[in-house]
Amino acid sequence: MSVINIKGIDLFEHQKAVVRKFDTMQPGGTLVVKSSRQKGKTILLENLLLRQSINFPNTTSICVEPSWAQSRRVFRAIVKACKKLPIIESANGGDMIITFKNGSEISFLSGAQQVDSVRGATVSKNGILALDEAAFLKDDYVYKVLPFRNANRAKVVAFSTPLFKQGYFWEEYKGALEGLIGNELIDFNDYDTSMLYPPEQQEHDKATMPALIYLTEVLGEFADAFGTVFGDINSLIAVPDNNEVDSLGIDWGTGQNADFTAIVGFNKLHQMTFCDGWNDVSPTEQINQIMKIIERTHPKKITVETNSIGEVYFDNLKKAIQKSHLNASLKGFETTNSSKRKIIENLAVACQNGTVTILDHPILKLHLAAYEVEPTRTGKITYNGAQGTHDDFCIASAIAFNELTKNTSYVFGSAR
């Protein structure tokens, strides 16, 4: 059999450190690789998988990604890298398996799969069980796939941008720091990676990103599992320069269990100029109350939450505005985890940069101060009021501020 010499990519020092540590770590051990974004961890993962598959015939490796989209991206990158080399026997995009002519194999799995569907797989002695973006994989899924390494004491490499101080990746990271036998750590923050992420870009991101995203994805540090979102609320309190309402946001409440209907307005200077709410008013009276506010403040934009009961309130308010012949534009906002995250992070960035002010309203301050970020079971993040509190004034503020700070074409009485 002829021998083919293949040269891999030129690695940076922090990437070489991972390869060296992998080669010297004990069988069955876990290598934790902590990295911020854009530091070359994915291409390093691809090359590690290729390296073991090519150098050790009949080797089986498994690469686990949080989603099918990420699995396909790594699968295609490896196939493309080998396109001009006579080393791949087959690359099946259906079952996500690359088979090499020397008998080696790389299988790609997704955390989106049912856990039971991946039982029974085995990683070879010289293979890798690679957990990419391990902080974003569900813990129950991770603990189901870890036994794949047991029979042959294969090595595990857990690559990830850090997220919260909880879960599998955090525990493995702590274990490595504390000298747990079998755990090794490479932290890209210990190396000079400025060539990949210039300081000026980092400063720009610091000013434009939510604090949580900047901490985890730019600085590459873990965040507290539960943390407040808007920072020092009292430092944002100020009397506005004018009382104009350029954008009014409304979050509807049911009037039960301290659930408020909250109305918040901002002027074009990003100063909060109006804040009011109630939790003891009938549905019909709510529309009357809001119409009085609209008649008094003359908002240029009105955006209301339309989830659940909000749909009915939206339609009733729309009819009331049309009947009154007021020059007020109306738009609905559907709150999902994704849309809520976007508007909350938009307001959070303004708060951390001091480019927004708020009014000295007791319930508003309570809701903002108690607002938290926390992980979901799927490894994503969500924003909610702390246990025992509500987020009505947070949502109303975020809706109003979002509409104020984006380019939106408004039409009188426009639907969602």
Q: Is residue 55 predicted with pLDDT exceeding 70?
A: yes
Q: What is the mean pLDDT of the chain?
A: 88
Average pLDDT over residues 340-365: 93
Instruction: Band the pLDDT of 4: cuts 50, 70, 90.
Output: low
Asked: is 13-190 a CATH 3.40.50.1000 domain? The reply is no
CATH of 228-404, one of 3.30.420.240, 3.30.110.30, 3.40.50.150, 3.40.190.10: 3.30.420.240
Give 186's strand partners.
33
The 3-state secondary structure of 195-262 reads CCCCHHHHHHHHHHCCHHHHHHHHCCCCECCCEECCCCHHHHECCCCCCCCCEEEEECCCCCCCCCEE
Q: What is the token pair recorded at 250?
A: 């409304």
* 224 vs 163: CA distance, rounded Å: 9
Instruction: Band the pLDDT of 333: cuts 50, 70, 90.
Output: very high
| Number of other CB atoms surrounding residue 237 within 10 Å | 14
Query: CA neighbours within 13 Å on the CB side: how many for 188?
Result: 29
* 197 vs 182: CA distance, rounded Å: 32
Q: What is the token pair recorded at 253?
A: 């409440």
Instruction: Band the pLDDT of 409: cuts 50, 70, 90.
Output: very low
Average pLDDT over residues 385-413: 76
Residue spans of the domains in the chain: they are 13-190, 228-404
Instruction: Band the pLDDT of 408: cuts 50, 70, 90.
Output: very low
Q: What is the token pair recorded at 390?
A: 């509500």
Burial zone of 117 (CB within 10 Å; 0-12 exposed, 13-18 middle, 19+ buried): exposed
Q: Is residue 227 predicted with pLDDT exceeding 70?
A: no
Task: Yes or no: say if 283 and 383 are a contact pair by the CB < 8 Å rule.
Answer: no
Give, in order, the Cα–Cα distances in Å from 6 to each of 50, 71, 136, 159, 214: 10, 24, 33, 25, 38
Is the full-model pTM beyond 0.85? Answer: no
Q: Do domains 13-190 and 228-404 have the same CATH topology?
A: no
- State pLDDT tens for residues 230-284: 888 899 999 999 999 999 999 998 766 568 899 999 999 999 999 999 988 888 8
Single out the residue of 36, 106, 54, 110 nearest to residue 77, CA to CA. Answer: 106
| pLDDT > 70 in the chain, percent | 90
Q: Is residue 86 predicted with pLDDT exceeding 80?
A: yes
- State pLDDT tens for residues 176-214: 999 999 999 999 999 999 888 888 888 888 888 888 788
